[in-house]
Amino acid sequence: MSAPPITTDPKNKSNQRAAAWGVAINVLMVVAKLSGGLLGHSYALIADAIESTVDVFASMVVWAGIRVTARPPDEFHPYGYGRAEPLTVAVVALMLLGAAFGIMVSAIHEIVTPHHTPAPFTLAVLAGVVLVKEVLFRRVLSIAETTASSAIEADAWHHRSDAITSAAAFLGILIALWGGPGWESADDWAAVLAAGIIAANGVRFLRSAVFELMDREPDPAVRMAIIEAAIGTPGVQAIEKVRVRKVAHALLVDLHVQANPQLSLREAHDLSGLVKAHIRETAPAVREVLIHMEPFEGTVGH
């Protein structure tokens, strides 16, 4: 059976463009950092290049995950392919943790091994990297906030992580150059700090991915807005068993609505339609609302 077509949803197109830009810019960063690190005798810069290499593959994974997420529901996936997004985030998080471990081990080895002081020009390379990555972070995060994509948000924070690790490398090299002989290892300690920052981001993204895969309820404020929208619909006397889960950038809602037991089946159906419309107006991220109509029995529950 052939794969379902890719949707033309503008949000998904924006996400795919953001991931593609991430790949292109990270490739340029790898070349600049690795060249500067090798020529300038800076392991912190080499470690930064390794992190950017991981970012290249991470952005490629995000791009592929977004394309899968964009597929519409089909016979075998009636709820769509939204779970591809947290899976993508989990893979990227594991890649970050692996890179952090490798950088940490190599940096410690460099600390106990005599080596040259980094060249001054490496500071200029790092300053340029920090500027580029911070601008990219802000741009990609803006897209993530618009599309509510956790994968694009993770990719954005990769760019911020890269800016931070580059700033740490800048500080380490500056200390090594300022301190002179005996301070060469400051560059490597900066790489250790960078590895810690990368690992912390990896853990954070892995937690968020696991929460979404386990259907942890999103922001309580969103749930409360949905409750208020439902209970505020004329004809609704009580609601209960409200459940909200996030799938990609959309929310799926299940709830029980209690109404006048004397309503006809048609009237109950029409009322459920009004509740759905009211919820979607209040919370545009809601894609589907499943309502179970019940007779009001004088008790109210959420």
Task: Read off the pLDDT of residues 2-17 as tens digits, 9 standing for 90 and up.
Answer: 444 444 455 667 766 7
pLDDT higher than threshold 70 for residue 121: yes
Report d(CA 152, CA 157) in Å as an integer. 9
Q: Average pLDDT in the 100-129 region?
A: 80
Query: Quick one: pLDDT at residue 118?
Result: 76
What the block records as the tokens of 240 is: 């209960």
CA atoms within 13 A on the CB side of 194: 37
Query: Quick one: pLDDT at residue 167?
Result: 83
Query: Quick one: pLDDT at residue 4?
Result: 44
Q: Average pLDDT in the 38-63 region?
A: 76
Per-residue model confidence as pLDDT tens digits over 206-259: 888 888 888 777 778 888 888 888 888 888 888 888 888 887 777 889 999 998
pLDDT higher than threshold 80 for residue 192: yes
Query: Quick one: pLDDT at residue 12?
Result: 64
Q: What are phi and psi of 2, to 5 degrees?
A: -75, 155
Which range is least confidently modeled, 17-31, 77-91, 214-228, 276-290?
17-31
pTM of the model: 0.67
pLDDT higher than threshold 70 for residue 181: yes
The domains of the chain, with CATH numbers, are 10-213 (1.20.1510.10), 220-295 (3.30.70.1350)
Which range is least confidently modeled, 86-90, 94-98, 134-138, 143-147?
143-147
Query: Quick one: pLDDT at residue 151?
Result: 72
Q: Average pLDDT in the 148-176 region?
A: 77
pLDDT higher than threshold 80 for residue 41: no
Which contacts of 76-79 are long-range, i.e. CB under 8 A and separated by 24 or more positions?
Answer: 79/247, 79/252
Q: Average pLDDT in the 72-101 region?
A: 82
Q: In what order do the strands lie in the sheet with 250-259?
A: 238-247, 250-259, 286-295
Q: Average pLDDT in the 183-188 region?
A: 75
**Please, are residues 69 and 12 in contact by the beta-carbon 8 Å criterion?**
yes
Query: Quick one: pLDDT at residue 133?
Result: 83
Q: What is the 3-state secondary structure (H, E, C) of the chain?
A: CCCCCCCCCHHHHHHHHHHHHHHHHHHHHHHHHHHHHHHHCCHHHHHHHHHHHHHHHHHHHHHHHHHHHCCCCCCCCCCCCCCHHHHHHHHHHHHHHHHHHHHHHHHHHHHCCCCCCCCCHHHHHHHHHHHHHHHHHHHHHHHHHHHCCHHHHHHHHHHHHHHHHHHHHHHHHHHHHHHCCCCCCHHHHHHHHHHHHHHHHHHHHHHHHHHHHCCCCCCHHHHHHHHHHHHCCCCCCEEEEEEEEEECCEEEEEEEEEECCCCCHHHHHHHHHHHHHHHHHHCCCEEEEEEEEEECCCCCCC
Query: Quick one: pLDDT at residue 6?
Result: 42
If you average pLDDT over every residue of the chain, what do you get? 80
